[in-house]
A = this chain, B = another copy of it.
């Protein structure tokens, strides 16, 4: 795949950074399109995107304290209060005081919450943009983005 694109003479790195720039811009454009599609699906579930993502990050089989949810969402603790308020009003999550440490409240996904969470997961795990890729291309893509995400945040990409 290495052509000799001699754009500026004597700049072997020029091609790489051009390639990188194009790849980055396209990744961001793709992510923006995917995000819009996801938000459309999520809105139809009666949730706002941020609330849906909070539900998505909750593990139905392992209740989390609110602080940990904030860490997973990479946002401040103070935001979690309102997000969980709305999940609780919708009957999707319950707050329970942790008897071991009464400061903490663990977030328990209800039965209804599990059902909705599956729908959220589905909305966040598909994209029409992949339809044109062959199985092999999809496999290559996955390998490449895995390599990238390992570099970005090892502990996060290793989780789950």
Contacts and interface: CB of A to CB of B under 8 A. Distances in A.
Interface string A135-160: 11111111011111111110011101
A97 interface: no
A130 B145 contact: no
A21 B160 contact: no
B26 A142 contact: yes
Interface in A67-106: none
Interface in A12-43: 16-17, 19-35
Given A132-B151, A139-B1, A157 B29 contact: yes
A148 B153 CA distance: 24
Contacts of A20: 125-127, 130, 138
Contact of A1 (B125, B130, B133, B136): B136
Contacts of A153: 29, 33
Given A22-B142, A137-B147, A29 B156 contact: yes
A66 to B, nearest CB: 21
B151 A17 contact: no
A130 B148 contact: yes
A34 to B, nearest CB: 6
A27 B23 contact: no
Interface of A: 1-2, 16-17, 19-35, 124-133, 135-142, 144-153, 156-158, 160
| Closest 10 A/B residue pairs (Cβ) | A31-B31, A21-B125, A26-B145, A129-B148, A23-B142, A33-B152, A1-B158, A1-B139, A26-B149, A141-B144
